[in-house]
Amino acid sequence: MLQNIRIVLVNTTHPGNIGAVARAMKNMGLGELCLVEPKIFPDEDAFARASGATDLLDKAQVVSSLDEALADCHLVVGTSARSRNIPWPLLNPRELAGVATGLGENQKMAIVFGREDRGLTNEELQRCHYHVHIPTDESFSSLNIGAAVQVICYELRMAVLQQDVADDKPQWGTEWDVDQADMQELERMFEHLEQTMIDIEFLDPENPRQLMPRLRRLFLRALPDKIEVNVLRGILTATQKRLKKSDTDV
């Protein structure tokens, strides 16, 4: 299970923190680090703080967008030090580890960590199936990013070590007849849905309110498979076609 988990850091400011994250990951048996537009990387501070985990830095993927980091993932979890305006399915690190034990062999999970100064944006958090919050003292909730990665990776490792937790797998698409859609397929569906709703004048792009976040939350909760996504997109295409036809009929 630990091999199926990718740690994603978004816009990290301090290279030393990237090194601390690599070390925390390697201590717990995780190996895949992906950096979305790090401010400074590679850098000697990162390598110094990684201690013996420099191999993770050497093979870290550096990408220019969060979408790129998530494209081949099936489950995405965003970490946050505080609650945001629209509530989202929320787990603590132990519950997250329980979910992770249900990952199928070919399913990839990304855990996304935010900027040191302001965390993840709402838009980034809305790309996630779940949010994870480390239950801190409410008056002081923000951990250093390296410490946050450490806590989460520790719980993932404990879940692997505890066979009884692994035996009680949550239902998570492992025995489905059709493969689960990946994030790239879901993002394309969301774009198609948004465009169709604009076409039929259900969504006003000048005043979108929380329509897309609410629909994203709905579809992400459903964990749709590839056929389900194709069917939904087929309905959208038919809607757009019919609309064009009725426009030309008038």
Chain positions contacting ligand SAH, by CB under 6 A? 79-82, 113-114, 116, 118-120, 132-134, 136, 141-143, 145, 148
Q: Which is nearer to ligand SAH, 134 or 165 (CB)?
A: 134
Q: Which is nearer to ligand SAH, 91 or 223 (CB)?
A: 91
Least Å distance, CB 247 to ligand SAH, is 45
Residues contacting 208, CB < 8 A, separation 6+: none
Q: Which is nearer to ligand SAH, 117 or 175 (CB)?
A: 117
**H/E run at residue 65:** none
Report the C-alpha gap between 113 and 66 in whole angstroms: 11
Tokens linked to 21: 């994250």
User: Which residue's CB is nearer to ligand SAH, number 114 or number 224?
Assistant: 114
Residue 1 vs 148, nearer CB to ligand SAH: 148
Token reading at 104: 């199928």
The CB-of-18 to ligand SAH minimum distance in angstroms stands at 12
> Least distance in Å: CB of 22 to ligand SAH?
15
Q: Which residues are CB-contacts of 193 (< 8 A; sequence separation ≥ 6)?
A: 215, 232, 236
- Residue 113 φ then ψ, to 5°: -120, 145
Closest CB 234 distance from ligand SAH, rounded Å? 37
CA pair distance 187, 182, nearest whole angstrom: 9
- Residue 58 CB, shortest distance to ligand SAH, in Å, is 23
Which CB atom, from 7 or from 53, has the smaller least distance to ligand SAH? 7
Closest distance between ligand SAH and the C-beta of residue 45, in Å?
17
CB of 86 to ligand SAH, least distance (A): 16
Minimum CB distance to ligand SAH smaller for 52 or for 89: 89
Of 85, 165, 96, give the one whose Cα is nearest residue 134: 96
Q: Is the dihedral of CA 163, 96, 128, 13 positive or negative?
A: negative
For residue 189, give both structure tokens: 């569906």
Tokens of 200: 């039929």
Using alpha carbons, list the distances in angstroms from residue 183 to 27, 167, 192. 29, 27, 14
